[in-house]
Amino acid sequence: MRVLLTGGAGYIGAHTVVELIAAGHEAVIFDDFSCSSPVAIERINEITGTQVCNRTIDVTDAEAVRAGIDETGPFDAIIHLAARKAIGESVSLPLEYYENNVGSTIVMLAAMREHGISTFLFSGTGTVYTHQEDLPFVETSRTGLALPNPYSKSKRICEEIMADFARTGPDRRLIGLRYFNPIGAHESGLIGEDPQGIPNNLMPIVARVAAGILPQVSIFGRDYDTVDGTALRDYIHVVDLARGHLAAIEHAERGMHFYNLGTGQPSSVLELIAAFEEASGRQITVVDAPRRAGDAQATYCLPDKAHVKLAWRAEFGIGRACGDYWRWQQQNPEGYRS
C-alpha cells in the first residue's frame, strides 16, 4: 500500500511512518515543518534503513497538494495528521485554527476525490466528547460543538465534513480516530516529541524537570474526586497509537467509521509523575496550582471497538512510555535541535 501522510514529520506522524514501513508499506510525507523538523525524516531513514520520499508542502494550499500528488503518487490511502493542536493557543487564535485544521482537511478530501484515493484517515481527538457523565467514552458517546475551545471544535467540524463526504461515494473509506494523551517515544531514542517553546502537555514538562531544564511541574488541582485528587487521563504510548493508525487503514471499510484508541486504564497526574521518577531515577519537583478553566476531572475511553474491528490493542503501559521518553530526552536534550 502507498500511503500519503500529511504532517508525517511530526510526533505521531514520524512514528506512524516507521510502523508503516515495518509492515511493508510505502510512505510519502507532506509537511511544511511549521511544527516539526526535517531532522525527523533523517531519523526515520536511519531507523527504517530507507529513504522516505518527502515534500515541503503546506496542505492548506490546494495547488501545492495537487502538484505534490501528481509528482509523487499514486496513493492508496491518506493519513491526515497535519494540524495545529495547542488548546490554549486556539482560544487566542481561533481563525488560524479553523483555517488550518478545517481548511487542510477540505483540501485533502478534495485531493482524495480528484486523484481516486480510496481511503482517508483523520487523526482526530477524544476531546470531541462533550459529557463527563458518559465516561468511559465509547464511539457513540455524545459529541457536538458545545466544546470549550476552537481546537476541539475544529476537529469536530472536520468529522462532520467527512461524514457528509462519505455519503457522496459508495466506495469511499473514511476513518476518524479519537485519542487523548500520546506519550513515550521510539525505543531507539531517535524520534520523539519536540514541542516548540514552553510545552503544553504534561510529559515533556516532567521530562525537562527531570533533566534540570525546568524547575518544577505545576499540579493544576488536587481536589478532584479521584484516587489522589489529581486529574485522570488516558495516556497512550505513541508507538501503540502509530500502530493503531496502521491497523485502521489496513482494515478500512466503506463508509465513515470512528474508533477510539486508548488503554482504557486512566492514570492520574501524580501516577504519571511517579512512573517517570522511577524510569529516570530523578526526583520531580512539583508545586500545587489552582484548577485551570475547562480542565476535566477525567478523560478516557474504551477501545473495545478497535480491538474487535481492527485487531488492535495498546500493549505498552506508562512505565514503558516513561522509560522510552527519558531515553529520547537524554539523547536529545533540545529535541531535534540537539
Query: CA–CA distance from 42 to each of 29, 184, 187, 243, 310 (Å)?
Result: 12, 20, 16, 21, 30
Mind telling me the catalytic residues?
151
Residue 200's closest CA among 218, 223, 222? 218
Sign of CA dihedral 28, 87, 34, 102: positive
Q: Return the closest-CA partner of residue 237 out of 39, 16, 80, 27.
A: 16
Torsion angle defined by CA atoms of residues 210, 43, 52 and 124, in that order, rounded to the nearest 10 degrees: 0
Are the beta carbons of 29 and 72 closer than 8 angstroms?
no
Sequence-distant contacts of 35-39: CB under 8 A, at least 24 apart: 35/7, 35/10, 35/84, 35/85, 35/196, 36/7, 36/9, 36/10, 36/11, 36/194, 37/9, 37/194, 37/335, 37/336, 37/337, 38/9, 39/336
**4 backbone dihedrals φ, ψ, rounded to 5°:** -95, 125
State the cell numbers at 17.
511512518
Considering Cα of 79, then 82, then 86, then 87, what sign does the dihedral take? negative
Distance (Å, rounded) from C-alpha 25 to C-alpha 8?
Answer: 14
Instruction: Cell numbers for 319, please give them.
Output: 512505565
Tell the residue number behind the cell numbers 500500500, with chain if given: 1
Residue 18: which of 238, 179, 178 has the closest Cα? 238
Q: How many residues does the chain have?
A: 338
- Tell me the C-alpha distance between 86 and 333, whole Å: 22
Of 185, 186, 204, 187, which Cα lies nearest the Cα of 195? 204
